[in-house]
C-alpha cells in the first residue's frame, strides 16, 4: 500500500498565529517542532496500518529557503520518504498507482471566519477558487489533483472548520481528527500536542485500515473549470497569453481542461 501525506502547518495542534509558521519569526522554531511531531505521528499510524511505501510532502510555504522545507530532518520518523523544496501542488509522480492521500495539518479556505489562519495559497494573490462552481481551498485543490489520478483523500486533521470543509467536499466517510477549535481566525481552543499526536496516529491507522469505507476519488465532470478570484488586478498579468487560461476581467482568471490536473498544470505550471 502506497500512501501520500500532503502536509501543511497551519492546521497543526497549538498553531494559531502567522508567527508560528513563517521562517525567521521568533515562534517559527516552536511551530516546526509541533509540525514535525504531528507529522511523525501520522507516519506511525500509516506504518501500523501496514503501508509499505509512505511519501510525505512538506507542503508549507514558510518563506525563502524554508518553503516546503519546515520539517525538522533529524527528528523525522523512520520508515517514510520525505519530499522537500518542491513547488506547491506539483509533485504528482507517485500518485500514479497510489492507494490513498492523507492531509495532516490542513487549514480552511480563504474567507472561512471560524478557520484558524484561513487562506488559499496566498492572501496576497488569491481571494477565492472554484472548481466547476464549487468553492475549494488548498485541501480541495489537493483532493482534486489526487482525484485526477484516481486516488482518494481518506484522512484530514486540522481545526474543526477544516475537517468539516473537507468532509463536505470528499464525502461523509472521510476520517477526520480535529486538533483545535477556532475561537477567531487567530485564537483556538487546542488539545495538548501529545494528545493531538495520539489522536492523529490512531486516526490515520483507522482510516487506512477501513478501506471499504474510503471516500471516492474527487472528480469533476469535464470540461473542468477552475475560476480564481485574484486579490489585486495586477495579479492577472501573469495569466495573460497563458495556454488554457483566460483573463475574464482584471480580478478573475479561468483555467480549463479535461481533468483537474490538466487545469492545475495550466494555471500553476511546474516550471
Q: CA-based angle 29:192:196, to the nearest 5?
A: 90
Lookup: cell for 215 = 471516500
Query: Exposed, middle or buried, 189 (CB in 10 Å: 0-12/13-18/19+)?
Result: exposed
Q: Which range binds Zn ion by CB under 5 A, 6-14, 40-48, 193-201, 237-245?
A: 6-14
Q: Which is nearer to Zn ion, 9 or 163 (CB)?
A: 9
- Residue 252 CB partners (closer than 8 Å, separation 6+): 227, 228, 229, 230, 236
Binding characters for Zn ion, 184-223, by CB under 5 A (x = yes): ----------------------------------------
Q: Which is nearer to Zn ion, 75 or 122 (CB)?
A: 122
In whole angstroms, the minimum distance from the beta carbon of 133 to Zn ion comes to 26
Q: Which range binds Zn ion by CB under 5 A, 5-13, 39-47, 128-136, 172-180?
A: 5-13
- Our finding on whether 8 is near Zn ion (CB under 5 A) is yes
In whole angstroms, the minimum distance from the beta carbon of 89 to Zn ion comes to 12
Please confirm, yes or no, whether 198 is among the known catalytic residues.
no
Instruction: Show the 3-state SS of 85-107.
Output: CCCCCCCCHHHCCCCEEEEEEEC
Catalytic residue among 60, 107, 119, 175: 119
**Residues 46-85, interacting with Zn ion (CB under 5 A):** 60
Structural contact between residues 162 and 169, judged by C-beta atoms closer than 8 angstroms = no
Q: Which residues bind Zn ion (CB under 5 A)?
A: 8-10, 60
Amino acid at each position: 500500500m502506497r500512501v501520500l501525506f500532503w502536509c501543511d502547518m497551519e492546521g497543526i495542534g497549538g498553531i494559531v498565529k502567522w508567527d508560528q509558521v513563517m521562517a525567521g519569526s521568533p515562534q517559527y522554531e516552536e511551530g516546526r517542532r509541533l509540525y514535525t511531531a504531528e507529522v511523525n505521528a501520522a507516519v506511525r499510524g500509516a506504518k501500523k496500518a501496514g503501508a509499505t511505501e509512505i511519501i510525505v510532502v512538506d507542503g508549507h510555504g514558510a518563506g525563502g529557503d524554508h518553503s516546503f522545507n519546515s520539517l525538522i530532518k533529524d527528528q523525522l520518523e523512520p520508515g517514510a520518504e520525505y519530499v522537500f523544496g518542491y513547488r506547491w501542488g506539483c509533485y504528482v509522480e507517485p500518485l500514479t498507482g497510489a492507494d490513498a492521500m492523507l492531509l495532516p495539518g490542513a487549514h480552511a479556505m480563504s474567507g472561512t471566519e471560524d478557520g484558524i489562519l484561513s487562506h488559499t495559497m496566498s492572501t496576497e494573490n488569491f481571494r477565492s477558487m472554484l472548481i466547476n462552481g464549487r468553492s475549494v481551498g488548498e485541501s480541495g485543490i489537493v483532493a482534486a489533483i489526487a482525484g485526477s489520478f484516481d486516488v482518494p483523500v481518506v484522512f484530514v486533521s486540522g481545526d474543526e472548520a477544516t475537517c468539516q470543509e473537507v468532509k463536505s467536499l470528499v464525502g461523509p466517510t472521510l476520517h477526520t481528527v480535529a486538533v483545535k477549535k477556532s475561537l477567531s481566525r487567530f485564537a483556538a481552543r487546542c488539545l495538548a500536542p501529545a494528545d493531538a499526536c495520539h489522536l492523529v496516529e490512531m486516526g490515520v491507522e483507522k482510516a487506512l485500515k477501513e478501506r471499504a469505507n474510503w471516500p471516492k476519488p474527487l472528480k469533476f465532470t469535464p470540461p473542468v473549470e477552475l475560476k480564481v478570484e485574484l486579490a489585486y488586478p495586477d495579479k492577472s498579468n501573469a495569466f495573460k497569453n497563458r495556454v488554457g487560461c483566460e483573463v475574464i476581467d482584471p480580478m478573475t482568471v479561468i483555467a480549463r481542461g479535461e481533468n483537474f490536473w490538466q487545469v492545475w498544470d495550466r494555471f500553476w505550471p511546474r516550471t
